[in-house]
Amino acid sequence: MMFPLGSRRSLLGGGGGGLRSSYYLRPNKNCNLTAWPAGCEPGWACNVKKEDNVDIKNDREIPERVLDCQPCCPGFFCPHGLTCMIPCPLGAYCPRAQLNQATGVCDPYRYQLPPGQANHSCGGADIWSDFNTGYELFCSGGFYCPTTTQRLPCTEGHFCRSGSTAQMPLRRVIARRFSLKEELAGYLLS
């Protein structure tokens, strides 16, 4: 189920400032004090019953989604407290996480595995945020990401800024920086 930007607020617990109040979701139909399937963990998701007809355009109703929980697919993010997969936007790099044995954190994200669940593994991305707070989710400078699961190095003669989905020829980048015709003509003649 995809959630339009405006619906994020309706799922969040509490109001007013700080990371804590904006990161954790209110208990919902699938993830609450009495039920917490593996898909409620960050980077994981669950399926709906095959016989359920889910209206993906209805962002007001969360379907029951608690079956066959698995790690979130590469290219998607699965927030803590929701059992659905949400596509990462283009320009993001959302690979499957790997457990860092030294820190116990699922890299490149910042979540840990739930204690006491030996068959649980790192999943996909668990958050999506703006560049200032979630820069590691964007394709790194010097690379471009044509899809949310591919990260390719920028080749010689090209420029790739953070969040690039394609390489940009270096000549085009330099030409954009010149505003006067004389400077541009001087560059092209040399």
Determine the pLDDT at residue 56.
77
Residue 145 pLDDT: 92
Coil/strand/helix, residue 20: helix
- Give residue 89's pLDDT: 87
Contact 81, 39 (CB under 8 A): no
Q: What is the pLDDT along the chain (190 residues), one digit of tens a residue?
A: 333 333 333 333 333 333 344 556 788 889 998 999 999 999 999 999 888 888 878 878 778 888 999 999 999 989 999 898 999 888 888 899 999 999 999 988 889 998 888 889 999 988 765 556 555 678 888 999 999 889 999 999 898 998 899 999 887 555 455 444 444 444 444 3
Alpha helices in the chain (DSSP H): 8-11, 19-23, 131-134, 170-177, 181-189
Among positive and negative, which fits the CA dihedral 25, 94, 157, 185? negative
Q: What does the alpha-carbon distance between residue 82 and residue 40 come to, in Å, rounded to a whole number? A: 5
Take residue 61 and report the two structure tokens written for it: 């109703």
The torsion region of residue 164 among left (phi > 0), alpha (psi -120 to 50) and beta comes to beta
Per-residue model confidence (pLDDT) at position 146: 94
pLDDT the model gives residue 17: 39
For residue 61, what pLDDT is reported?
79
Please state the pTM of the whole predicted model: 0.69
Using CB atoms within 10 Å of the CB of residue 92, give its burial: 0 to 12 exposed, 13 to 18 middle, 19+ buried. Answer: buried
C-alpha–C-alpha distance, residues 84 and 93, integer Å: 19
3-class DSSP assignment, residue 140 = coil
How many whole angstroms separate alpha carbon 99 and alpha carbon 120?
11
Q: What is the pLDDT of residue 129?
A: 59
Alpha-carbon span 11 to 17, nearest angstrom = 16
- Select from 166, 158, 107, 114 the least CA-distant residue to 137: 107
Measured distance CA(27)–CA(83) in Å, rounded: 12
Question: Is there a contact between 66 and 48 (Cβ–Cβ < 8 Å)?
Answer: no
35 SS3 class: coil
